[in-house]
Structures are given as structure tokens and as C-alpha cells.
Amino acid sequence: MQDTHFRSGRECHLVLPAAFRASIPVLLGYTTLGLAFGLTLVAAGLPWWLSPVMAVFIFAGAAQFMAVGLLQSGAGLFEIALLTLLLNGRHAVYGLSLLGPFRSAGKWKPYLIFGLTDETYGLLTTVKAPAQIDETKFFAAVTALNQSYWVIGCTAGSLVGSALTLDTAGLDFALTALFIVLLVEQVRAVKQWGPYLAAASACVVALLVSPRNFLLVALAVATGVLALLRGKIEESAGAPRPDSGGGA
């Protein structure tokens, strides 16, 4: 036994309990939502194993829920890729505030980036590692625990769903509810009319032009309208430099 081995073993002993305590808020949320996801996936007629496979490799709640409808209707891979990109585009902001903390993460860095869900991001930016514990190991443990809750929930949901014949009609509303929750969070954060005007006009245009490709057309039009409104939006945002990160 080498000294370093012993040390990391002892540290592990401290890391997991601390990470578990930090991750408790996510435990309930991920197991419940994962359960709902697994049930929804099986109710849509998709094979049960798809649920754990998605939880292990994709690890993105909203995108997984969206994928159920897309896979059910046999959507093309390009459409799936584009919609995933747009839906998860919000994750592209998260890393900006973790560039520093992840700089010294070494071999854990790829996994820490992989695990940056809404909830993991929320935890990693608010919870501090206890003083005697290496921050990277703490972050990795929190991320791995969060993912394990998600995998457990998704697996249990699809197994329960395929074992029992439950009346799950209406469970797919969970996706609509999830989008509404994310929208409410955005309304609280972005107090501006511009983005919602862009969204509303894009929805009308997409309905008229191509209801069949509604999401693609609406998102493309909205991006254009938003870019056109940029001057007005940044002007009414008030701050001389909106990206200065003040946000008191």
C-alpha cells in the first residue's frame, strides 16, 4: 500500500458523505422526475431499456422528455440534433461561471462538463466543498450522485411502467409543466418584452408557414427577430455594460 493510496482512500471517506448531504435537494427531484420520464417513455410505446440508456449517456431531463415525442413519430436525426441543440443551448452559459473552478479538475473535467444539468449547475455554483476536501473530488461526487438519482428514477419508471398496466394517460403533461416551470424562471430573470414579442411573432409565422415543421421554423424566425431587436433590448436593459456580471 502506498501513501497516496491511503490518503485518497481516507479523503473518499469524507467526500461522499459531504457530497451526499449537498445533493439531497436533487435526490427527491431527480428520482420523481426520472420515474415520470420512464413511465412516459414506456407509455409512448418505446422499449424500456431506452430510459436507462438515455439517463446514462444523455443526462438531460427536458431533452429526454422532448425526445419521447420525436422518437415516437420517427423524427429525422437532423431534426433531433437541431432541437436538442436549441433546447440545451441554455447550458452553453453555465460553463462560463465554472471556467475557473474546473480549470484544475484534470481527469474529472470531461465528466464534470458532461454532468452540467440545470440542477447540478445550481448546486456546484452555490455549495462550497468542506475545508479539508479537494474541490474537484467534491464536485465529481456531487455530479455522480445526481446522475445516479436520475438513472435510478428513469430505470425504475420504465420497469414499473412495463411491468404494470397503469393508467398513465395525461402523464405526458409533465413535459408541458416542465417547460412552464422553465419559462417562469426565465420570466423572473428576464424582465423584458422583447424576447416574448419575438417568440409570439415567430409562433404566428410558423403556424402560417409550416405547422408541420413548427418548432424549427418558429425557433429560426425567433432568433432572427431577437437579433433585430437587440439594440432596443440592450437599451432598455439599462446597464451600460450588460455583461459586466454585476447583477447585484
Partner 1 sequence: MSYFLLAVAVMTAVTYFTRAVPFLFFAKRQPPSLLGFLQKYMPPVVMAILVFASYKDIDYGAAPFGVPALVAGAATAVLHFWKRNVLLSIVGGTALYMALIRIL
**Scanning residues 63 to 102, which ones bind partner 1 (CB under 8 A)?**
63, 66-67, 70-71, 74, 77, 80-81, 84-96, 98-99, 102
CA distances from 173 to 36, 37, 117 (A): 10, 11, 21
Interface pick for partner 1 out of 12, 24, 28, 163 (rule CB under 8 A): 28
| Shortest separation between residue 195's beta carbon and partner 1, angstroms | 4
| Shortest separation between residue 188's beta carbon and partner 1, angstroms | 8
CA distances from 96 to 20, 153, 172, 201, 220 (A): 25, 29, 33, 31, 25
Interface pick for partner 1 out of 107, 212, 243, 246 (rule CB under 8 A): 243
| Shortest separation between residue 126's beta carbon and partner 1, angstroms | 15
- DSSP codes, 230-243: HHHHHHHT--SSGG
Q: Is 109 in the site for partner 1 (CB under 8 A)?
A: yes
Q: With contact defined as beta carbons under 8 Å apart, do 174 and 39 qualify?
A: no
Interface pick for partner 1 out of 11, 16, 114, 135 (rule CB under 8 A): 114
| Shortest separation between residue 206's beta carbon and partner 1, angstroms | 8
Interface pick for partner 1 out of 9, 10, 47, 228 (rule CB under 8 A): 47
In 3D, which of 78, 91, 46 has the Cα closest to residue 65? 46
Interface pick for partner 1 out of 190, 209, 228, 239 (rule CB under 8 A): 190
Q: Is 164 in the site for partner 1 (CB under 8 A)?
A: no
In 3D, which of 203, 223, 222 has the Cα closest to residue 214? 203
Q: Is 150 in the site for partner 1 (CB under 8 A)?
A: no
End-to-end Cα, the chain, rounded Å: 51
Q: Is 54 in the site for partner 1 (CB under 8 A)?
A: yes
Q: Residue type at 167?
A: D
Q: Is 144 in the site for partner 1 (CB under 8 A)?
A: no
Which stretches of 58-141 are assigned E, i.e. beta strand? none
Q: Is 24 in the site for partner 1 (CB under 8 A)?
A: no
